[in-house]
Chain A
């Protein structure tokens, strides 16, 4: 009997140790949040909520306002989604509904491989390939057509909101495409059949049955892409121009929260400067965690708890 009792005790110990390890990871989120908050406290107290909408960023005078970075982060992410969503959804719909069977896996694999390219490589490619391409082939026709709008004012020197947005778009396409594809695969075949049996064409079946069924999950996929875009740092820093300035023009340099933290942390010699950057980090943290939480809830709702999207997350 004693040996039986002993085994029972070791099982219990084992379980407790594993439970402890399993709890460490989720609690990290709270710890990071706490550290950011306490370090940001001096800036929070000094600048108050006006930190969010003032534009001065002057380390000499110790006055900080994050509006240009918040604007740049949101603007570059929105531009990225504007380009990436149609592209990624087309890829996902093509792969699940129209592509020949033998082509599905290879194309899905290659699209997802885009997510494996290191950010800094995207940045370098952005500087040496994308920006010259934009300068020669994209900006001139855009200016000719829409030069009268406020979005295309000024001279295009290369590093700009446009370049940042396009780089981000390329980087988030694989995430949106992969999750959308899995959402579409999770739509029951009976829904497609029901539409086709009514005399719907393939495209009508996709539009009237498949897309509505997966709607919440597809929105989730897009929001997940948004979360990625908001927090992306290296590639954006390399092409967006890093200027504390709000300009509606896509051709002008801008700044993002992530880029500012990466660029300025080593120069942040005063306590207030550091604290201001911490507050930017706190904002970015809360923003991306919230966006990701919303995305996952939406995806989970379509998949009903199945592991849809987990591969890409």
Chain B
């Protein structure tokens, strides 16, 4: 049954930019991001949705791009770590607090953690420490012991 079309015309918003491209329909969202769009800030840590290194925002919500297929962002808005910026176009408050608090060590989990934290603070700008802890359970970090990550998110609350 090879006569069926195996390509898909994908249209979506990527970091604010209208993006249209023809893709192999069986492509994962993570491959689309890293290989087709060349956005390498989104990482593959496990390929099973367990570590959160591949998180991006789709329609404002954090998702694991390793478990989504590219066709599933059709007609949607996607933001990757490269699209996370402050109001002035510089560093986002979360990026500033992650750096200042010492929440970055090897850094491989950092983009995913910032995406997950951004999704939380957009929805719940006054999130409590307990809420932050529960929201970030899907982001493994093997370096920091999480303490500085949590304080970075707490310090970013209410900042634009």
User: Do these two chains interact?
Assistant: no
